[in-house]
Amino acid sequence: MSHPRPAPTLLDLPYTLSTEAIAQFQTAGFIKLKEVFDASTIAHYRQAIVAKVEEFARQAPPLSERTTYGKAFLQLENLWRTSAVIEEFTRSRRLARLAAELMGCDRVRLYHDQALCKEAGGGLTPWHADQHYWPLATDRTVTAWVPLQAVPAEMGPLAFAAGSQRILSGRHLAISDESEREIGLTIKDCPVNETPFDVGEVSFHAGWTFHRAGANRTDRIRHVMTVIYHDGDATVAEPRSSFHVNDLANWMPGCVPGGLAASPLNPVLWDRSWA
């Protein structure tokens, strides 16, 4: 059954993506796009997401008691299942179409969404590749990183190692002090983009692109919403780690290796036939 759609809003309207931008993404493994959303759209969905983050933060231990991973951000996943307003955002056809066009897919499915909020004084997010965690038999995966406010350098904007999606070394490392050290050496010849984000600016990075984020040196929390997409025709890979087993159970329940990565939690968010 198709998901009922309200009257079109900026969440649904297409964003003009040039052939040069697509080529840049495929070469560099990431792209940053200005004015994907306007300030009023960001403000509207920020309110609902921040409410969930604040509720979660009240239960979190102090920063001083956390690991490097725990100091990097507050992480809330599958928020689209908890709020009708957040579900509108996660199902944005504007974002999903961008993901499909950048990857060259006929359709994309939701892998999952998550808020990644770096608290005031929060530590760095070490170098890593997202797809380390995903049991998907495809490299056609991408994450949309949507700041819910401007992100200056001192707040910890996402940084990307251009071209690193083609580097095999370091892919086995989970987010950790080790990944920061070892991947940092691996990508020493890759140009790093760590520019600030404006309000409404959105980045997309491929699943194997190495990326990190600096510490939040301000007195304000850095709120970010992310949506992860995979090729709508992708299949499930045989799990090779405990992370894969966990992700398969949580984000693709009922799916099996070799089968379509299409549980009820992985709806198609954009299909070329809808254009």
Domain boundaries, the chain: 19-274
**At residue 205, does pLDDT exceed 80?**
yes
Confidence of residue 164 (pLDDT cuts 50, 70, 90): very high
Mean residue pLDDT of the chain comes to 93
Chain segment 107-161, per-residue pLDDT in tens: 999 999 999 999 899 889 999 999 999 999 999 999 999 999 999 999 999 999 9
Rounded CA-CA distance 117/95 in Å is: 20
Query: What share of the chain has pLDDT > 90, as a percent?
Result: 84
Judge contact between 154 and 218, C-beta under 8 A: yes
Q: Which two tokens stand for residue 172?
A: 């086995």
Least confident span in 102-106, 119-123, 136-140, 226-230? 119-123
Alpha helices in the chain (DSSP H): 19-28, 39-57, 68-72, 84-90, 93-103, 177-186, 242-251
d(C-alpha 39, C-alpha 54), whole Å: 21
**pLDDT of amino acid 168:** 97
Report the distance separating Cα 209 and Cα 15, nearest Å: 23
C-alpha–C-alpha distance, residues 123 and 102, integer Å = 31
The rounded distance, in Å, linking the Cα atoms of 106 and 31 is: 20
User: Selecting from 2.60.40.770, 2.60.40.1190, 1.10.357.10, 2.60.120.620, what CATH number does the domain 19-274 have?
Assistant: 2.60.120.620
